[in-house]
Amino acid sequence: MITLENITKSFIQDKKEHKTLQNINLNVNKGEFLCIVGPSGCGKTTLLRMIAGLDFPTSGHILEGETEISGPSRERGYVFQQYSLFPWRNVLDNVAFGLEVKGLEEEERYQKARKYLKMVGLSQYELSFPKELSGGMKQRVAIARSLVNDPQVLLMDEPFSALDVQTRHKLQEELVRIWREEQKTVIFVTHNVDEAVFLADRVVVLSHGPGKIIRTFNIDLEKIRDRSTPEFLNLKKKLRVC
Ligand SMILES: Nc1ncnc2c1ncn2[C@@H]1O[C@H](COP(=O)(O)OP(=O)(O)OP(=O)(O)O)[C@@H](O)[C@H]1O
Ligand SMILES: [Mg+2]
């Protein structure tokens, strides 16, 4: 579904070229839940932004199916590392934003937006404004706002990193449920190994500077996963020592 062929990415900093990513080769399958983990600064966000079409590789190719990615698309929804709601719009109008841009009539866009607000458990908050919501609720709205456009691929950049552990675990479970129900392909960036082992079908580990793929783990455990099983703990240990 998404293919990365020999990707390198460099940025110019202080008139010098800094290589951020090197030799990234990766195939993401339709319906797969892929996690990308790695230390801060290794290029995770850069990689996800390039898959989104918000930035471009210095060399190499990124394909969606057979087509080279040349810019953002509705088929690839993006959930940002930081909260990214429009503060002047209420929850319903935040979620319905993409449909408004698309030109849908109010009734249809609200009907669709409500379906996804229900899915993330926020039906009773549709008239609230972002400043009235907790961090976890804001990220739920951000997820609903991406899903409403019915993207094939959901790109998520550490969406739960600012949340307390209980809220984080709850949203992880909700995300697995939604991923199943909606049959999406998810590419999820995190530096939290527990999160990766809980969510992923496959985990790709990047090294620090320049980011390269150093390990890949397939995780065949049944979802929703039990964090206390020896298999779960063993996988976390293996990922930590990468
Ligand atoms: N637009 C830019 N211009 C210059 N350098 C950049 C730019 N974007 C990213 N970089 C550099 O690329 C490297 C990787 O950044 P990136 O944000 O992808 O890391 P990350 O793995 O997402 O880190 P974190 O876990 O902290 O979010 C960093 O050294 C950063 O300074
Ligand atoms: Mg990042």
Q: What string of DSSP letters covers 88-103?
A: TS-HHHHHTHHHHHHT
Both tokens of residue 23?
A: 């030799």
pLDDT of residue 117: 95
- Long-range Cβ contacts of 232-240 (<8 Å, 24+ apart): 232/197, 232/198, 235/197, 236/193, 236/194, 236/197, 239/37, 239/193, 239/196, 239/197, 239/203, 239/205, 240/193
CA of 26 to the centre of ligand 2 (A): 19
Q: 83 pLDDT exceeds 80?
A: no
pLDDT of residue 54: 96
pLDDT in tens, 58-69: 999 999 999 999
Distance CA 110, CA 108 (A): 6
Cα–Cα nearest to 146, from 36, 37, 52: 52
pLDDT of residue 209: 79
pLDDT of residue 201: 98
pTM metric for this prediction: 0.95
Q: Does ligand 1 come within 6 angstroms of the Cβ of 11?
A: yes
- Among 10, 12, 46, 156, residue to substitute to test ligand 1 (most atoms within 8 Å of Cβ): 46
pLDDT of residue 47: 97
Q: Does ligand 1 come within 6 angstroms of the Cβ of 67?
A: no
Which of ligand 1's atoms lies nearest the C-alpha of 43?
18
The letter for the amino acid at 7 is: I
pLDDT of residue 164: 87
Cβ partners under 8 Å of residue 196, min gap 6: 35, 37, 188, 190, 203, 239
Ligand closest to Cα of 55 equals: 1
Helical packing angle, 135-147 and 165-182, nearest 10°: 10
Which of ligand 1's atoms lies nearest the C-alpha of 13?
4
Greatest alpha-carbon pair distance for the chain in Å reads 53
- Look at strands 67-68 and 59-64 and give their pairing: antiparallel
pLDDT of residue 163: 86
Which of ligand 1's atoms lies nearest the C-alpha of 42?
21
pLDDT in tens, 98-118: 999 999 999 999 999 999 999
Q: 162 pLDDT exceeds 90?
A: no
30 — pLDDT class (breaks 50, 70, 90): very high
Ligand closest to Cα of 191 equals: 1
Cα–Cα nearest to 41, from 160, 214, 187, 209: 209
Which of ligand 1's atoms lies nearest the C-alpha of 39?
25
Cα 66 versus chain centre, distance? 22
